Amino acid sequence: MRFFKTTFCAMALALCAGVQAQGLKDAYKDYFSVGVAVNMRNLSNDKHVEIIKTNYNSITAENDFKPQSVQPQEGQWNFRNADAIADFCRQNGIKLRGHCLAWHSQVGRWMFEGANGGQATKEELYARMKTHITTVMQRYGDIIYCWDVVNEAVSDGGADPLRNSQWKQIAGGDEFIRKAFEFAREADPNALLFYNDYNAAVPEKRDKIYNMVKEMKAAGVPIDGIGMQGHFNVYEPSLEDIETAIEKYSEIVDHIQFTELDIRLNREMGGQLNMNRQGEELTPEKKKMFDDKYTGFFEVLRRHADVIDVVTFWNVCDADSWVGVSNYPLLFDKNSDPKDTYYKVRDFTPTNAEKAAAEKSKKKAANKAADEKAALAKKNFKK
């Protein structure tokens, strides 16, 4: 009798250990991929590497694929960090998101300067854009399954739907967006191409993004999906606004990704670089708001797993977060340990609606193709 009790206890402990060892990617394998933004510090930190391998099956380079990073001066390429991140993905069979190709920030001034001084012409701008897009996309075509082609081109407020960037000023309108997607499709016909932006669930900006993408797709611009960054706070946007945005975007695209997820304690949100990195005090009330926002958000995601490909956390842990450790933004704390919120997100009981969405999600060919690409890159990888 003692033998059976001992054996039963050992089996129970083993089962519990297996559940505890399960990562986010395993918990959500029937719904969508779970990703994380990484930098070179993460790849040299053993604890971070273990978190990445256990929890994530998609990676985005936080900064190392941005235009300024890979081409600081025209024709001067710096692929060292980008190559290292790509090789980490190849070695571990983890698919890689490309971020980003055209953005108003973190791009060399040379992109917009004319050969003879002054502002570049449209022809000069588009030639440089095409060279940049083609060079970068073709270098990583074996491991990158999708790209944020144009990032943050829509305005936050006002009548003009576009940000008054140098891209827009030289192009005289939205032609630079159309050209970027055309060049990207030519460079890698198999990659999924995304328009990516913050505050994409805020009704005013949501409608601007929707109208732009709808019109462009009708005109033949090859936009495959919309990236909703997801730099939220515990107050807003509401879960209702997030769900409405998913439903609205799914009318015009087959692919929606949450590309840069974090949830702050203060009242700021979005991707603006001028921000307050100081969070509000983590009171029991604020902790409950944080928990409820994360768990409620993932409930929304599970209900719409048929249109959501991947959800990417922006950084590995609070200490590494671009919004500051005191904003308490991620599921891993300042010591890189999982918060109790992590387990609330990971260990869920699906509703019937969520199960139905998961069944549809399993049939998405794009997800299978991305996983197969990563597996092939791992097979072909040579240190």
Contact 339, 345 (CB under 8 A): no
Cβ partners under 8 Å of residue 174, min gap 6? 153, 162, 168, 212, 216
Asked about 152 being catalytic, the answer comes back as yes
Contact 263, 294 (CB under 8 A): yes
Q: What angle do CA 145, 192, 75 make, to 5 degrees?
A: 75
Q: What angle do CA 132, 36, 150 make, to 5 degrees?
A: 30
Residue 76: Cβ-neighbour burial (10 angstroms; 0-12, 13-18, 19+): exposed
The single residue of 152, 243, 268, 354 carrying the catalytic annotation is: 152
SS3 74: coil
Look at residues 302, 304, 266 and name the one whose alpha carbon lies nearest to residue 286. Answer: 266
What string of DSSP letters covers 259-301? EEEEEESSS--SS-SS---PPPP--HHHHHHHHHHHHHHHHHH
Q: What share of the chain is helix, strand, coil (3-state, %, to 5)?
A: 50, 15, 35
CA–CA separation, 344 and 361 (whole Å): 22
The single residue of 182, 243, 260, 268 carrying the catalytic annotation is: 260
List residues with catalytic annotation.
152, 260
